[in-house]
Structures are given as structure tokens and as C-alpha cells.
A = this chain, B = another copy of it.
Amino acid sequence: MSEPRRAVVLLSGGLDSATTAAIALHQGFELATLAFDYGQRHRRELDASAAVSQALGGRDHRVVRFDLRAFGGSALTDAIAVPHGRAITEMGHDIPVTYVPGRNLIFLSFATAYAEVIGADDIFLGINQQDYSGYPDCRQEFLDAFIQTANLATKAGTQDGRRLRIHAPLIQMTKADIIRKGLELHVPYAMTWSCYEGGEIACGTCDSCLLRLKGFAEAGISDPIPYANATH
């Protein structure tokens, strides 16, 4: 019997990345999960990431620390206010204030380095073009260009016939589809954290909470986490 193949999975601890990890597992990969501590406003999602990795039987969970606050430039790392109570239709058409410059480029670069070190050829990430059409680094054409670059940058892509591959299984799915898929795969959604704020319980009014709540509503399922101000 051959060894299970390992995949590096970017696991932020949110709903999308947890579902992505479950999909990788379902496809037969052994999970090497990777989270980033990059000066985000709260650590709730890092705790969620470690808990979800363990719940899914991740073999290895690593946290890479770096500080984007040195650069400034986004509501998620600066003191700029995160928007609350927006209509869903207001989201996703412009580049939002929560955009972190180069974030997925940086995340995927670290994932590439980690894949190289552990001999994995597959990288999974939970980006989604539907909800985040305003983020330039959530598009398929960015991923296609990235993986070509990553293969040129590494031994994996230049020696012994290996090729790195990138998987973004959620990229065209709606939030409701993601949740339905995740429930089928027993994703522990109660452990996930999506809220942009770092309160005791999720705020229920930031863009991320609103998208999550709308997804559960559309899937006809109630979200297992409590909310401070649920409007759905």
C-alpha cells in the first residue's frame, strides 16, 4: 500500500478554510495545515485553526508569524474600523477596506516553501471568487500565475519530475454550497471563527458574519455558533 500523499492546507480557522481542509482529507490527502499570525486584530481565528486541524486529524499544524502592521494598509491589521451592517449587495464589487495587500501572495509563498520542505506537491486554499470578487488575489487567474511562478521558484518544479499543484475547491461555490458540502464531510463548524472582530462571541454584523449567516440561511441550516447581534 502506498503512503498517503501529504497536502499543505492553508487553514485560517474560518468556515471556508475548514471546509477546504475536509475536502483535501476526503480526497485522500494527509493534512499538513498552516496558519498565519500576521498582526490580525485578534487571535480567535488562530485558536480556531489549531482546533479544526486537530479535529480533522491533521498530522502537522504550523503557525508562521510575521508582521504586516509594519507596512500598514488594511482594516484587518490597522486601527481602521471594519464595516458593519452593510447590505450583501454592497460587498464584493470594489476592493474592500479589509483587503490586505499581497496577503494571498505571501500566504501561498510560505505554503510553497513548506510544501518544498515536507515533499508535498499539493497546496489547498479556501478562497472564493463569489464572496470576494473585490480581492484581486482571490481570482483563478492569480492562482494559475502563482503556481507557474512557484514551480519556477523551487526544486519541486525544476527537478525530478515533480510539479506543485494548487487546489481552490471553493472558488466558484456559493456560501450555501460550501456549508452543504462541509456538513456532508462533517466539518466541525462550531469550532470555526469567521468574525472580523475578536469578541467573546461573533458580532453578527461585520461583512464576514453577514456572509456566513446568509450562507447558513440559504442552506436552510442554523449556524452552530452564537452571535451577539444576529439579524438572520
Contact = CB atoms under 8 A, between A and B. Distances in A.
Contact of A152 (B108, B139, B158): B139
A40 to B, nearest CB: 14
Contact of A137 (B64, B117, B153, B159): B153
A93 to B, nearest CB: 13
Interface in A107-162: 108-110, 112-114, 116-118, 136-137, 139, 141-142, 145-146, 148-150, 152-155, 157-159
Interface of A: 62-68, 70-73, 95, 99-106, 108-110, 112-114, 116-118, 136-137, 139, 141-142, 145-146, 148-150, 152-155, 157-159
Contacts of A141: 152
Contacts of A112: 101-102, 105
Contact of A101 (B72, B101, B145, B155): B155
**Count of this chain's copies in the oligomeric assembly:** 2
| Nearest 5 interchain pairs by C-beta | A102-B113, A101-B116, A66-B66, A73-B117, A145-B149
A113 B136 contact: no
Contact of A145 (B71, B100, B136, B148): B148
A137 B154 contact: yes
Nearest to A102: B113
A150 B116 contact: no
B145 A152 contact: yes
Contact of A113 (B71, B155, B159): B71
Contacts of A153: 102, 104-105, 136-137, 142, 146
Given A106-B110, A137-B153, A155-B99, A62 B71 contact: yes
